[in-house]
C-alpha cells in the first residue's frame, strides 16, 4: 500500500508538449505539495494545497498549473514544456494541523528533449 503515489514515474517528451503528473495520497492528510528536484539534487517547493485550497505558490512559471480535485489528490499540469523543466517532481503530503513531517512520493522523472 503506497502512501503517496505518483504517475507516471518516467516521462520523456518533446519541447512544446503539454503533460500532466498525477498524485494521490491515502494517508488522510489535509495538505499536499509539489517539490522539484533539479539535476544537482536541490529540492525546492513549488505548490501546496490544504483541503483543496492553494496555500503556497512559489515563483513558478505560469506554464505550471496545479489542480486538487479533492484533498487526497494533487495533479500538476505543465504547458509548453521547455528543456529546463527536466527534473524529478515529487509529490508530498502531511497533516498540517498536527504539524507532521512530510511524506514524499516516489517521484516522477521528467525529461524534455
- Interface residues toward other proteins, by CB under 8 A: 31, 33, 40-45, 48, 56, 90, 92, 94, 96, 99-107
- CA–CA distance from 99 to each of 10, 29, 110 (Å)? 31, 11, 30
Least separation in angstroms between residue 50's CB and other proteins is 9
Examine residue 91 and say whether the peptide bond preceding it is cis (omega within 30 degrees of 0): no
Nearer to other proteins, 45 or 60 (CB): 45
Nearer to other proteins, 14 or 41 (CB): 41
Amino acid at each position: 500500500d503506497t502512501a503517496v503515489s505518483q504517475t507516471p514515474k518516467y516521462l520523456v517528451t518533446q519541447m512544446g508538449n503539454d503533460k500532466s503528473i498525477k498524485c494521490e495520497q491515502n494517508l488522510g492528510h489535509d495538505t499536499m505539495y509539489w517539490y522539484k528536484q533539479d539535476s544537482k539534487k536541490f529540492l525546492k517547493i513549488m505548490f501546496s494545497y490544504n483541503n483543496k485550497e492553494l496555500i503556497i505558490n512559489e515563483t513558478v512559471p505560469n506554464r505550471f498549473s496545479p489542480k486538487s480535485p479533492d484533498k487526497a489528490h494533487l495533479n500538476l499540469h505543465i504547458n509548453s514544456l521547455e528543456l529546463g523543466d527536466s527534473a524529478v517532481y515529487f509529490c508530498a503530503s502531511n497533516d498540517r494541523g498536527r504539524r507532521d513531517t512530510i511524506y514524499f512520493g516516489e517521484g516522477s522523472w521528467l525529461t524534455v528533449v
